[in-house]
Amino acid sequence: NAGVTQTPKFRILKIGQSMTLQCTQDMNHNYMYWYRQDPGMGLKLIYYSVGAGITDKGEVPNGYNVSRSTTEDFPLRLELAAPSQTSVYFCASGTENTIYFGEGSWLTVV
Amino acid sequence: AQTVTQSQPEMSVQEAETVTLSCTYDTSESDYYLFWYKQPPSRQMILVIRQEAYKQQNATENRFSVNFQKAAKSFSLKISDSQLGDAAMYFCAYRIPSGAGSYQLTFGKGTKLSVIP
């Protein structure tokens, strides 16, 4: 019963590098999300998707890009990594009345 | 924009006692969902309990229950018979069921709960 799977769990990036955080869900949910959580803070929405081929910006989209080519996958792309992007990233998927989260990806930009 | 406020940054409770975590929210919607999530040190987000705004009955999940006051826009979480494993950050979250935002969650800043043996 996999649920929402994120990879990698931990990553250290150098300033200016790029990377992709992968997210896959096996619950056939239309809605998928990327959140970031900075130390001592709640979660802030980066991007979301309401179905394959449809994405939209959340509260803090700058420096990120997403795509949604299939129902299952929702990768998050970081371009030109900056120290301000050091955070824990959560992918989530859901229906109308609930959202399930992945285990998080810890990203450090040095 | 909807906001969620958790006014207690930290709380503590004796093992086996009861504790209540507070949450208020601001919205002009009449139909919405409210959630409490638990985040242990592992950082995983675990759904604790869910409340639908159109239901007057307060949600209950084993030792966890809520006091939902729609008119006051208040949604508190009560943990009974507290256990050491309940120690975690607890986040209150709000969600509109349709329209702009497409079911996204808005989170409060969290309450750190410590359980004293």
pLDDT in tens, chain A (110 residues): 569 999 999 999 999 999 999 999 999 999 999 999 998 788 999 999 989 999 999 889 999 999 999 999 999 999 899 999 999 999 999 887 788 999 999 999 99
- Quick one: average pLDDT of B2-27? 95
Q: In the prediction, which pLDDT does B28 show?
A: 85
d(CA B61, CA A34): 27
pLDDT, averaged across chain B: 91
All residues of chain B having their beta carbon less than 8 Å from the beta carbon of residue A95 are 103
Q: Is any Cβ of chain B less than 8 angstroms from the Cβ of A45? A: yes
d(CA A56, CA B100): 10
All residues of chain A having their beta carbon less than 8 Å from the beta carbon of residue B50 are 97-98
Q: In the prediction, which pLDDT does B102 show?
A: 62
Segment B69-97, tens digit of pLDDT: 999 999 999 999 999 999 999 999 998 76
Going by the DSSP 8-state scheme, the letter that residue A52 receives in this structure is T
Residue of B3, B103, B109, B111 to mutate, testing the A interface (most A Cβ within 10 Å of its Cβ): B103
Measure the N-to-C terminal CA separation of chain A; round to a whole number of Å: 35
Q: Is any Cβ of chain A less than 8 angstroms from the Cβ of B54? A: no
